[in-house]
Chain A
Amino acid sequence: MTPLKLVAVTAGLSRPSSTRLLADRLAEAARLRLAEEHEVEVRVVELRDLAVDIANNLVTGFPAPALRDAVEAVAGADGLIAVTPIFTGSYSGLFKSFFDVIDNTALAGKPVVLGATGGTARHSLALEHALRPMFSYLRAITVPTAVYAASEDWGTSGDAGVDGLATRITRAAGELAGLMARRPPAVEPAAAEPAGTAAPFENVVPFERQLAALRPINGR
Chain B
Amino acid sequence: MTAIQFGIFTVGDVTTDPTTGTTPSERERIKAMVALALKAEEIGLDVFATGEHHNPPFVPSSPTTMLGYIAARTERLLLSTATTLITTNDPVKIAEDYAMLQHLADGRVDLMLGRGNTGPVYPWFGQDIRNGIALAIENYALLRRLWTEDVVDWEGRFRTPLQGFTSTPRPMDGVAPFVWHGSIRSPEIAEQAAYYGDGFFANHIFWPKEHTERMITLYRQRFAHYGHGTPEQAFVGLGGQIFMRRNSQDAVREFRPYFDNAPVYGHGPSLEEFTEQTPLTVGSPQQIIDKTLTFREYVGDYQRQLFLVDHAGLPLKTALEQLDLLGEEVLPVLRKELAVNRPSQVPDAPTHQALVARRDAEAGREPTVAAGSAS
Contact = CB atoms under 8 A, between A and B. Distances in A.
Contacts of A61: 206-207
B74 interface: no
A66 to B, nearest CB: 11
Contacts of B273: 56, 64
B192 interface: yes
A151 B134 CA distance: 54
Interface in A174-220: 195-201, 204-208, 210-211, 213-214, 216, 219-220
Contacts of B195: 207-208
A196 B207 contact: yes
A45 to B, nearest CB: 20
Interface in B188-233: 188, 191-192, 194-195, 206-208, 210-211, 213-214, 217-218, 222, 226
Contact of B214 (A60, A198, A219): A198
A61 B268 CA distance: 10
Contact of B137 (A206, A214, A220): A214
A61 B207 CA distance: 8
The range of chain A's interface size is: 20 to 34
A56 to B, nearest CB: 5
B213 A62 contact: no
B156 interface: yes
B208 A211 contact: no
Contacts of B138: 214
A64 B277 contact: yes
Contacts of A60: 206-207, 265, 268-269, 274
Contacts of A200: 214, 217-218
B187 A201 contact: yes
B222 A214 contact: no
B191 A204 contact: yes
A134 interface: no
B185 interface: yes
A208 B137 CA distance: 11
Contacts of A201: 187, 214, 218
The range of chain B's interface size is: 35 or more
B27 interface: no
B337 interface: no
A64 B269 contact: yes
A62 B208 contact: yes
A59 interface: yes
A206 B268 contact: no
Nearest to B134: A214
B151 interface: no
Interface in A96-126: none
Given A197-B211, A204-B222, A214-B156, A59 B206 contact: no
B263 to A, nearest CB: 11
B185 to A, nearest CB: 7
A55 interface: yes
Contacts of A62: 206-208, 211, 277-278
A207 B157 CA distance: 17
Contacts of B218: 200-201, 204
Interface in B266-314: 266-269, 273-274, 277-278, 298
B141 interface: yes
A58 to B, nearest CB: 8
Interface of A: 55-56, 59-62, 64-65, 195-201, 204-208, 210-211, 213-214, 216, 219-220
The 10 nearest A-B residue pairs measured at CB = A59-B268, A198-B210, A207-B195, A196-B208, A56-B269, A219-B155, A56-B268, A198-B213, A62-B207, A201-B187
Given A60-B207, A60-B274, 6 more contacts: A56-B268, A60-B268, A62-B207, A64-B277, A200-B214, A210-B192
18 contacts: A56-B268, A56-B269, A56-B273, A62-B277, A62-B278, A64-B277, A195-B185, A196-B277, A197-B211, A197-B214, A198-B211, A199-B214, A200-B214, A201-B214, A204-B191, A210-B188, A211-B137, A219-B156
Interface of B: 133-134, 137-138, 141, 155-157, 185, 187-188, 191-192, 194-195, 206-208, 210-211, 213-214, 217-218, 222, 226, 265-269, 273-274, 277-278, 298
